[in-house]
Structure formats: C-alpha cells, structure tokens
Structure 1
C-alpha cells in the first residue's frame, strides 16, 4: 500500500519541522533563569567590589546552580570553556578578579563592532546571585 502524494508531502513537512525545531532549541531556553539567593546574607543596594561569599559552601552551591543555568552555555560545563567565551577557571583570584568579574557580569561586553558578546545581567540577577556565581568560579580555579 503506497501513500498518496499529499500524505507523503505532509510526512516530509512534519519530519523537517521536527528536525528544524529540535536544532533551533539545541541550546535550550536562552532566557536568563532566576537565581534564588535568598538564603544568603543580603548585601544591600550599594555594589561591593569584593566577594563577601568567598569560600561559603551555601553560596558556592547557589552559584553552581546559577552558573549552570545561565553561564555554562557560553563559558562551558564545569567552567571548562570550549572556546566560545573566556575560560573562567583562570580568572584571577581575590579582589582584582572580583572587580573584573562584577564589572563584566553587571554591564556585559560588546565587541569592536558594537555587537553584544555578553549580555548585561545587572537588571536580571541580584548582587547576591552574582557574587554566589563568583564564589563558585573560584571553587573551580586553576593556575
């Protein structure tokens, strides 16, 4: 028993739609995912220049979750970049690395042509969530 021309066309169209649809969503939902940092000490309105959660296990766990949901698609799983974005395992430790990190995550980065290569997250993530991600990054640090 053979399919009619119309049935074959529908089958092909459905197969193409499924294939294209799966590829279009291969990176998942790229909308920033919320990070619940309510269990951490709240930091207030003024932005800090140094990570208050350095070495805090709760902050590291929250930061790991936030990183994996929002940062890993560009910076790599377990903070091992595949080359799309900087490998954050090598970000300088301490205050100097903190200053670079908080500036970049708050304000993002554009390339020389003005194209956004990293979005700004200041209006998306709380200061607590950002510093929790930084605490996680430092837990993965390599020389």
Structure 2
C-alpha cells in the first residue's frame, strides 16, 4: 500500500497525538459549574471540620444538583461509580468521612504527577462543597 506524503504526515501526527493523549488530565478538562447556595447559612472563610449541613433538606437539594454538575462525570450518577473514580456511597457519614471529604475536595487527587481530581477549594464555596457532602451522606451504603 502506497501513501502520499500528506497521508504519511497526517497518520504520523495522529499517532503522536494519540500517544501523547495519555499525559493529558486523567478525567478531562472539566470546567466546574457555579452552585447557587441561596438558602444556606454562610460559613465564612475558615474551613469547618465537620459538616454543618448534615440532614439539612435545603443543603441536600442544593448538594444533589451541585454533585450532578461537578462530580457525577467521574464519580457516577447517584454516586454509583463505574470504576473511574471512587464509589462515594462508601464514604461514611460523620467526622471521619468529613475529614476525608474535606481533604480531597480541597486538595484534589494526583497520581504519578497526573491530576485525577481537581482542587475545588477556591473554585466552589465551602457552602457548596458541604452541601454536596450532605447529599452524599444520604447515599451512604454500609453494605458496600
């Protein structure tokens, strides 16, 4: 099979592009979506250690929407992971789960220098992130 110079260049560039794609952001270039936190008590600048919105119906509703806009792409609809990212139904309620959650949403996750989850601190408000956590607590499944 003969290739023209143009076809050879195109095929080579395609192969190089495919090879380099493994070094791109693991979960794609996702732009975080703004979260309307109307109805939630303001929490201030200092991060709280535990979720102030646990069981708060308004926060849970806001958190469900915020999760679907910002987290479901990787963590799955209804927090049921398809294997790309951790299944967040396993994230236990209470202080221990809050500690892990705040660490991860504030700092993101990187493996071998590749970002697997962006840092959300400074991108989404503390109120929005705690609302997501309030919703995630409703999804906890001790049987997983």
Aligned to 2:136: 137
Paired residue total: 116
Aligned to 2:126: 127
Q: Which has the larger radius of gyration?
A: 1
Distance across 1 between alignment mates of 2:65 and 2:38: 14
Distance across 2 between alignment mates of 1:139 and 1:91: 10
Question: What secondary structure does 1:105 align onto?
Answer: helix
Deviations 1:42-90 (A, max 9, x none): 0011100100000101000000000000100000001100000000001
Which structure 1 residue ranges, 4+ long, deviate > 3 Å from structure 2? none
The gaps in structure 2 that reach 5 residues or longer are: 1-26
The gaps in structure 1 that reach 5 residues or longer are: 1-26
Distance across 2 between alignment mates of 1:72 and 1:44: 27
Question: What secondary structure does 1:116 align onto?
Answer: strand
Aligned to 1:52: 52
TM-score normalised according to structure 2 size:
0.77
Distance across 1 between alignment mates of 2:105 and 2:45: 17
Distance across 2 between alignment mates of 1:93 and 1:136: 11
**Deviation of residue 31 (structure 1)?**
1.1
Question: What secondary structure does 2:116 align onto?
Answer: strand
Distance across 2 between alignment mates of 1:68 and 1:117: 18
Does 2:113 align with 1:114? yes
Deviations 1:6-62 (A, max 9, x none): xxxxxxxxxxxxxxxxxxxxx9x8211001113100001110010000010100000
TM-score normalised according to structure 1 size:
0.78
Task: Identify which range, 31-40 or 77-86, moves more after superposition.
Answer: 31-40
